[in-house]
Structure 1
Amino acid sequence: MLKRLGLIFGPVIVAVVAVVAGIMLMPEDNNKHDYQAEQRAANALTPIVFKNQTLKQRALSDKQHRFVPFFGSSEWSRMDTFHPSVLAEGYHRSYRPFLLGQRGAQSLTQYFGMQQITKQLTNKQAVYVISPQWFVKQGEDPNAFKYYFNQAQALTWLQHAKGTTADRYAAKRLLAMNVSSSLNGYLRRIADGKKLTANDQGWISMKLRFLNHEDSLFSDMQLGNNYTKRVLPKTANLPKTYNETKLNALADKYAAEHTKSNQFGIDDKFYQQRVAKQLGKLRGSQRQFNYLQSPEYGDLQLALQQFAATHTNVLFVIQPVNEKWAAYTGLDMKMYDQTVAKIKSQLTTQGFTNIADFSQSGDKQYFMQDTIHMGWRGWLAFDKRVNHFLTTPQSTPTYHMQDKYYGHDWMMATSVN
């Protein structure tokens, strides 16, 4: 009987062992640079690239080509002629955006993603887009978090967790997201302020080594075609040399051609697909929205903590909302302005003073492409601030982190006074 079982399962076991051994023995090569592949990864906007350590490390460590991490959410997918990737390419900027963000991704996702690129963030620059609508009562959607979560991110973080207030908060947030039962024991220890044992660290190291090898092995199979299909072709539409007046006129022309179906200044395609059929139901639908009380403030603090640890000089961009749409849906703009003030207070009191605040630009013509995302003139205003930040000398910031921003009192505060 045992012999028969051996004949049946023996080859399967051998095959599994061979695959695991092959992955473990294959060397990780994050120093191999292919500029075209890096450009494709930087503009891919796929969950797989978003989670992949190898692709991010390769591009962000390329000494011949300067890729800068642009952290954000779904705004990066609005790839019109004035998108930051198109302008950087068309005008041969000294940098290229590496777009990190997708629909539903917020600060907690970005924080754990940063664990894969701490070396690449050290003493470098970054751009971080903040959307006030992230700051809802429940914070980041657990389903979205799981979708973008890579277990290797948490394992890398666990290797360095020391039981600080930030570590304990991060562990509790991961537990709340219920990402993996295999991690819960380690997370509970950190959440309780305890250190991981030597056995814990040994298992984490072994598991992480396997996942990182797997990540490297399959990295080249995961690139999209946004760079060749959505970025490069649009550079042909730009004036040959950068001219702000000509670009704004061109943005007005494009926007006027694509906002003919509605009174909100929303892109026609977006309006027809996402708004028109339920327009009546959406009237007054945001009257009860409140962005002032949210765990997102604590999650944002994690991202700030990481930037401070890696001495990263960051330009924070605060997105506006379409004010015509806000008026229709009943969004409380006083509450919105208080939210922006609270976010800015959390940034500036800790030394994060590079802020491009566009929160008051939501009423400008052709600034918004849809209800909550910049486009056309908005992208041009964004690019002007970002380009200046990344291409002119900047003073080295001094950060002084405050644990109070992980506290319930701050997350529930309705004013900054």
Structure 2
Amino acid sequence: MLKRLWHILGPVFCALLLALGLIALYPTKVNHSLRAEREDAVALTKTNFKSKYKKVRALTDPNHHFVPFFGSSEWLRIDKMHPSVLAEAYKRSYIPYLLGQRGAASLTHFFGIQQISKELDYKQAVYVISPQWFVAKGANAGAFQNYFSNGQLIDFLQNQTGSQYDRYAAKRFLKMYPDSSLKGMMEKVAKGQKLSAADRKSLDFKDKIFQKEDGLFSHFSVSNNQKKKVQPQADSLPKTFSYQKLGEIASQDGKTATSNNRFGIENTFYTIRVSHQLDKLKGSQKRFDYTKSPEYNDLQLVLNQFAMSHTNVLFVIPPVNSKWAAFTGLDQSMYQKSVAKIKYQLQSQGFTNIADFSKDGGKAYFMQDTIHMGWNGWLALDKAINPFLSKPSDAPTYTINDQFLTKAWAKYTGKPEEFGK
């Protein structure tokens, strides 16, 4: 009987021991590799999005200026005018490190930033804020769990100081991920209680294991986006940089790519995602409201983190496709109210670097689909990104206002400048 059990379970047991041995012995030292870092920067996989090792490796490279580009699904649309392609084609002084996934929003980015908070100290970043994130229920729990790793939570717990921001983040986390293995510690933080010495020792041990796992398994996550998507398109662009020439190429590409519909939507997207349900989608967004949402409080978490890290951030506010908005009944007045609320939350606290494209959704070939920029939109964005990153400057003086962490602000629909008066 024992022999039979050994034949069945023995290989599994040996494999487990081997895996544990590899993890225990694997070095945690970061080894820089420009080729690997460039691939990671445009990989746009869930593994890369969650990996601390990969992000830290690129952001600490002493010889190359990788800059985190936070967002959601817009970075996935790599065409000739994409920020990564232009940076490659014209040998910019910076390399975008794309941190975006479908459904990712501020709460996801807040916990992701816990892994690279030291790497953001006195550095730069680009952060896309889509008003579409600001729905009534806020971030999607499924998406949040999908892009979350225990490593993020370990870093958060090790860094927490008992502030109201820590308590808020813990409460939001417990609501979004109630079955976490570290639920007990998060409940303590949510209640304002200090972690015990035993908790701290446990976190230190878990952190060592996670870093070894992350470093080991990161080598098995390989992307070819740089080689297959970015480099070929960069090579196809004119050797001499010219916005006029690039604009002509962008407009022609946009015209060719949106030839089968009246909305200016990319052909394949329109055929697969839109054409078969036009009747259903007509007028479907009449009741959408982005002015009241817990997302405003989640954004405040991120802003407070940037302020603590003295990170100089360029915030990007994208538009929606105007033709599509008219078709679906999306209230543009409501959209602009949400933009005004976002901008007030930013500007009143000193986050004054803002590229606001919210009124440009009707420009020719500015949008690639219903809500994502492309072609001429990317070029317009480059005119804001390139000077910001090519000539680094100190972050503005930030003055954090804790009122933006309250439910009152999340639900506020009046004139932003009159809030609290």
TM-score surpassing 0.5?
A: yes
**CA shift digits 1:64-98 (9 cap, x unpaired):** 11110000010001101000000000000011100
Structure 2 CA distance for aligned equivalents of residues 38 and 346 of structure 1:
34
Structure 2 CA distance for aligned equivalents of residues 393 and 268 of structure 1:
39
Structure 2 CA distance for aligned equivalents of residues 15 and 393 of structure 1:
50
1:239-278 superposed matches below 5 A? 239-278=238-277
Which residue of structure 2 aligns with residue 373 of structure 1? 372
Structure 1 CA distance for aligned equivalents of residues 105 and 7 of structure 2:
51
**Pair 1:67 & 2:60 matched:** no
Give the structure-1-normalised TM-score.
0.96
Structure 2 CA distance for aligned equivalents of residues 171 and 360 of structure 1:
36
**Pair 1:203 & 2:198 matched:** no
Aligned-pair RMSD on alpha carbons? 1.8
SS in 1 for 2:369: coil
The answer to whether the 8 Å contact 1:146/1:179 transfers is no
SS in 2 for 1:232: helix
Which residue of structure 2 aligns with residue 23 of structure 1? 23
The answer to whether the 8 Å contact 1:298/1:405 transfers is yes
SS in 1 for 2:194: coil
Which residue of structure 2 aligns with residue 288 of structure 1? 287
SS in 1 for 2:182: helix
Structure 1 CA distance for aligned equivalents of residues 248 and 323 of structure 2:
22
**CA shift digits 1:105-153 (9 cap, x unpaired):** 1111111111111121111000001100000011111111111001110
Which residue of structure 1 aligns with residue 319 of structure 2? 320
User: Given residue 25 of structure 2, which amino acid in structure 1 is its aligned partner?
Assistant: L
Measure how far apart 1:179 and its partner are.
5.4
SS in 2 for 1:266: coil
SS in 1 for 2:126: strand
Which residue of structure 1 aligns with residue 233 of structure 2? 234
1:306-385 superposed matches below 5 A? 306-385=305-384
Structure 2 CA distance for aligned equivalents of residues 142 and 101 of structure 1:
16
Structure 2 CA distance for aligned equivalents of residues 268 and 19 of structure 1:
47
The percent of aligned pairs where both chains have the same amino acid is 54
Q: 1:4 to 1:369 in 2, by over 3 A?
A: closer
Structure 2 CA distance for aligned equivalents of residues 364 and 16 of structure 1:
57
The answer to whether the 8 Å contact 2:67/2:124 transfers is yes
Give the structure-2-normalised TM-score.
0.95
Q: 1:15 to 1:289 in 2, by over 3 A?
A: same
Measure how far apart 1:334 and its partner are.
0.8
Q: 1:80 to 1:161 in 2, by over 3 A?
A: same
The answer to whether the 8 Å contact 1:305/1:401 transfers is yes
Q: 5+ residue gaps in structure 1?
A: none
Q: 1:232 to 1:14 in 2, by over 3 A?
A: closer
Q: 5+ residue gaps in structure 2?
A: none
Which residue of structure 2 aligns with residue 46 of structure 1? 45
Structure 1 CA distance for aligned equivalents of residues 258 and 181 of structure 2:
50
The answer to whether the 8 Å contact 1:351/1:400 transfers is yes
SS in 2 for 1:316: strand
